[in-house]
């Protein structure tokens, strides 16, 4: 039978307490293993195998986590998801979609964010998310559907809403059978471990609220990315506020990629559930497994130890980031040897032991995960007395920074080592395509270096990132001088042609399809259903996805930005949908859309007209491709001088 580690004392523990690493009275095991720098630790006081479950003296059969009946005594009627961000919102929506008998409530203290989730203008921009939210949040009416023959009809029962959003955190926790903790865990900016350690303040606060208000037996599920041994921290908090009360703690890390989050949730390659080796722990894990089994095959649900579950998310992101830094290091060699990094990536990607994923040379990784998780991993290694391990993973971050610095330095050197009186156009600010997330973008580091040369202006265009989000990210650069207009040189514009006009250089910093100079991506006219798109037990009559282009404004994008809608509900399902909640009279999004002037139907896959841009930029028409999206021969044919990362300069 599968065995998992125990977090500590429990009413039905299958592990003798003497076999579990002890917790000093003045410091939790979490603090020993993570929070204290290695140079100030008494390494002799640490167990020989920190974080590794010790063998149990008494082995008893624990219930099978993947058996549906294991959780028969653990009914789940209400789920509270704490945190309405990029993880909590989409995850809760998909769980609610596939479990209509369960009430799912997403809570957050940010009233504006909750209001956005309740409206028709969601705060998260993911393809397919609006469809999922609309079904689960608004419900569907009863309707008659034609059967196999013209005389037979099937009645589709009405679906009641079971997804709710609220700021009533305490009231929701009080009635919840399961709490998903999806709060932000950023990198600390001050104090011990600043710049590397994980800031656990929000998670600790959520756990205290649960400890003080949740009913006994409520299952706690870690969804946030946390350092190893966080489960012990949670147990310590619960024991401090509710001694003797059992609260099973599970680890269920998310493996979502922005831009494909709904696809990742609908069709996961694995669902990792970490639990403690107790009867209550296994039953709690089985209850969570049953929720996922509503649409995920049980063969893809992986029960593992809680420490392994917590660490596997950090390890997975570190491995992916390592591949990016590895191919970027090769790109630097290619530029000195006339080799082509694209050809190299293609050839080594054909090796089945390596594969083609994450071998695209560029400006390096960005976003809110990779850098944060590797920094957390290096700090964890140092805290455990493993400086060599920390140095190994630190080099992944060093190479990432080197790639951005090298690219920006090459731009400056090509423009005669001076940007005085010159305009630089930047196409793309988001850290990757198909997302409006401006956090931790490589563009920020490139702009920082360019600003040091005193350019006349830097104009930024991105199809989804809002002007407010970009300016908020750029505000960290405002130390000695202003950055954004009117006092600074940086301006965010809603039109790529306005951004490039009269510029001395054009920089491509995001791999949006619209920046490619190839043929436009064609959309099939055949309706695509969820069953054709996603695996699992998704009923085909829940969501029908039909390619369609949403109206977006080219000369004044709405705020917040909206992902082009490529998968709305099919017309026959519209009759089942209940009306969307009306927007208030002062809705910013509606007001900006109605007063934007001329709008055209467009999406992020329609290529821009590079031939037109070639007539508006200044000679010698420099273009610096930081993402490898442009065809060199075509660009040179239009009169551009193209410099591409990973390829030797032609000039």
Among positive and negative, which fits the CA dihedral 386, 388, 389, 393? positive
DSSP H stretches of helix in 295-355? 306-337, 341-349
pLDDT value of residue 40: 37
Strands 551-552 and 600-601: antiparallel
Mean of all residue pLDDT scores within the chain = 82
CA dihedral 5, 7, 12, 14 (to 10 degrees): 30
> Is 257 among the annotated ligand-binding positions?
yes
User: Which of 369-373, 405-409, 454-458, 541-545 bottoms out in mean pLDDT, i.e. has the lowest?
Assistant: 541-545
User: Which of 67-81, 388-402, 585-599 bottoms out in mean pLDDT, i.e. has the lowest?
Assistant: 585-599
Distance from CA of residue 449 to its chain's centroid? 27
Rounded to whole angstroms, how far apart are CA atoms 481 and 489? 10
What CA–CA distances, in Å, run from 552 to 522, 549, 620? 19, 9, 33
> Is 113 among the annotated ligand-binding positions?
yes
> Is 256 among the annotated ligand-binding positions?
yes
Q: Tens digit of pLDDT for each residue in 27-68? A: 333 333 333 333 433 333 333 333 334 444 455 689 999 999
Angle between helices 387-414 and 370-383 (to 10 degrees): 140
More confident residue, 478 or 247: 247
pLDDT value of residue 588: 65
> Is 225 among the annotated ligand-binding positions?
yes
Exposed/middle/buried for residue 21 (C-beta within 10 Å: 0-12, 13-18, 19+): buried
> Is 185 among the annotated ligand-binding positions?
yes
User: Which of 341-355, 361-375, 580-594 bottoms out in mean pLDDT, i.e. has the lowest?
Assistant: 580-594
pLDDT value of residue 121: 87
pLDDT value of residue 145: 65
Q: Tens digit of pLDDT for each residue in 519-571? A: 444 444 444 443 334 333 333 334 443 333 333 333 333 333 333 444 434 44
> Is 439 among the annotated ligand-binding positions?
yes
Return the DSSP state at 269.
Answer: S
Strands 78-82 and 103-107: parallel
pLDDT value of residue 595: 45
In 485-498, which positions are buried (b, 16+ CB within 10 angstroms) versus exposed (e)?
A: eeebbbbbbbbbee
DSSP H stretches of helix in 166-250? 169-175, 201-213, 230-241
Confidence at 125, pLDDT banded by 50, 70, 90: confident
* Active site residue ranges: 369
pLDDT at 436 over 80: yes
User: Tokens 């054009």 belong to which residue?
Assistant: 506
pTM: 0.81
pLDDT value of residue 311: 95
Q: Beta partners for 159?
A: 140
Q: Tens digit of pLDDT for each residue in 244-288? A: 999 999 999 999 998 899 999 999 999 999 999 999 999 999 999
pLDDT value of residue 224: 93
More confident residue, 147 or 54: 147
SS3 for 153?
strand
Rounded to whole angstroms, how far apart are CA atoms 160 and 34? 45
> Is 372 among the annotated ligand-binding positions?
yes
Return the DSSP state at 54.
Answer: P
> Is 52 among the annotated ligand-binding positions?
no
Distance from CA of residue 389 to its chain's centroid? 26
> Is 359 among the annotated ligand-binding positions?
yes
Closest CA to 533 of 127, 68, 152, 203: 127
Q: Quote helix, strand, coil % in the chain, to nearest 5.
A: 35, 15, 50
pLDDT value of residue 161: 93
pLDDT value of residue 576: 67
Rounded to whole angstroms, how far apart are CA atoms 249 and 7? 8
Q: Tens digit of pLDDT for each residue in 284-322? A: 999 999 999 999 999 999 999 999 999 999 999 999 999
Rounded to whole angstroms, how far apart are CA atoms 262 and 247? 30
Q: Beta partners for 461?
A: 427
Q: Tens digit of pLDDT for each residue in 1-36? A: 444 444 544 444 333 333 333 333 333 333 333 333
Please give the radius of gyration of the chain, using alpha carbons only, rounded to the nearest integer.
26
pLDDT value of residue 42: 38
More confident residue, 477 or 36: 477
> Is 255 among the annotated ligand-binding positions?
yes
pLDDT value of residue 155: 67
pLDDT value of residue 567: 43
Share of the chain above pLDDT 90, in %: 67
> Is 108 among the annotated ligand-binding positions?
yes
pLDDT at 243 over 90: yes
pLDDT value of residue 61: 83
pLDDT value of residue 489: 96
């Amino acid at each position: 039978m599968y065995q998992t580690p125990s977090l500590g004392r429990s009413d039905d523990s299958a592990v003798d307490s003497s076999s579990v690493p002890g917790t000093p009275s003045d410091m939790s095991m979490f603090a020993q293993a993570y929070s204290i720098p290695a140079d100030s630790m008494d390494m002799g006081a640490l167990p020989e195998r920190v974080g590794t479950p010790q063998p149990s003296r008494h082995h008893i059969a624990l219930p099978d986590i993947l058996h549906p009946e294991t959780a028969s005594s653990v009914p789940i009627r209400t789920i509270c998801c704490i945190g309405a961000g990029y993880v909590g919102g989409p995850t809760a929506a998909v769980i609610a979609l596939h479990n209509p008998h369960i009430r799912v409530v997403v809570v957050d203290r940010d009233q504006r964010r909750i209001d956005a989730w309740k409206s028709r203008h969601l705060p998260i921009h993911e393809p397919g998310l609006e469809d999922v939210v609309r079904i689960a949040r608004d419900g569907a009416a009863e309707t008659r559907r034609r059967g196999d023959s013209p005389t037979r009809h099937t009645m589709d029962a009405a679906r009641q809403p079971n997804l709710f959003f609220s700021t009533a955190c305490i009231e929701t926790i009080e009635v919840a059978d399961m709490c998903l903790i999806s709060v932000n865990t950023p990198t600390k900016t001050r104090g011990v471990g600043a710049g590397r350690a994980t800031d656990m303040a929000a998670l600790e606060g959520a756990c205290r609220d649960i400890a003080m208000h949740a009913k006994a037996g409520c299952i706690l599920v870690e969804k946030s990315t946390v350092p190893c041994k966080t489960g012990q921290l949670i147990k310590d908090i619960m024991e401090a506020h509710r001694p003797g009360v059992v609260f099973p703690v599970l680890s269920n890390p998310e493996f979502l990629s922005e831009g494909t989050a709904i696809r990742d949730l609908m069709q996961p390659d694995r669902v990792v559930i970490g639990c403690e080796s107790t009867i209550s722990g296994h039953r709690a894990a089985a209850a969570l497994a049953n929720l996922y089994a509503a649409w995920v095959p049980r063969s893809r649900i992986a029960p593992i130890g809680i420490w392994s579950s917590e660490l596997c998310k950090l390890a997975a992101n570190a491995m992916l980031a390592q591949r990016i830094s590895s191919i970027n290091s090769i790109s630097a060699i290619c530029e000195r040897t006339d080799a082509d990094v694209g050809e190299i990536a293609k050839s080594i990607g054909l090796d089945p032991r390596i594969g083609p994923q994450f071998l695209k040379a560029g400006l390096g990784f960005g976003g809110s995960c990779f850098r944060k998780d590797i920094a957390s991993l290096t700090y964890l290694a140092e805290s455990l007395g493993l400086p060599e391990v920390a140095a190994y993973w630190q080099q992944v971050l060093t190479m990432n920074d080197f790639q951005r610095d090298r690219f920006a330095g090459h731009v400056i050197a090509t423009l005669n080592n001076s940007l005085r009186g010159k305009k630089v156009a930047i196409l793309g600010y988001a850290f990757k395509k198909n997302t409006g997330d401006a956090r931790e973008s490589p563009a920020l580091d490139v702009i920082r270096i360019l600003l040091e040369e005193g350019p006349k202006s830097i104009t930024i265009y991105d199809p989804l990132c809002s002007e407010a989000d970009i300016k908020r990210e750029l505000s960290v650069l405002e130390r000695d001088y202003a950055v954004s207009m009117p006092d600074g040189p940086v301006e965010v514009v809603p039109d790529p042609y306005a951004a490039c006009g009269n510029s001395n250089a054009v920089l491509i910093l995001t791999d949006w399809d619209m920046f490619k100079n190839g043929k436009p991506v064609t959309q099939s006219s055949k309706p695509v259903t969820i069953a054709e798109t996603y695996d699992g037990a998704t009923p085909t009559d829940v969501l029908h996805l039909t390619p369609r282009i949403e109206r977006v404004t080219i000369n004044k994008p709405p705020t917040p930005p909206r992902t082009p809608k490529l998968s709305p509900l099919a017309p026959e399902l519209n009759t089942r949908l209940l009306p969307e909640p009306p927007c208030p009279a002062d809705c910013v999004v509606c007001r900006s859309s109605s007063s934007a002037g001329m709008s055209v139907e467009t999406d992020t896959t329609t290529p821009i007209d590079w031939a037109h841009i070639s007539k508006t930029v200044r000679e010698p028409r420099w273009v610096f491709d930081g993402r490898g999206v442009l065809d060199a021969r075509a660009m040179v044919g239009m009169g551009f001088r193209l410099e591409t990362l990973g390829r030797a300069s032609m000039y």
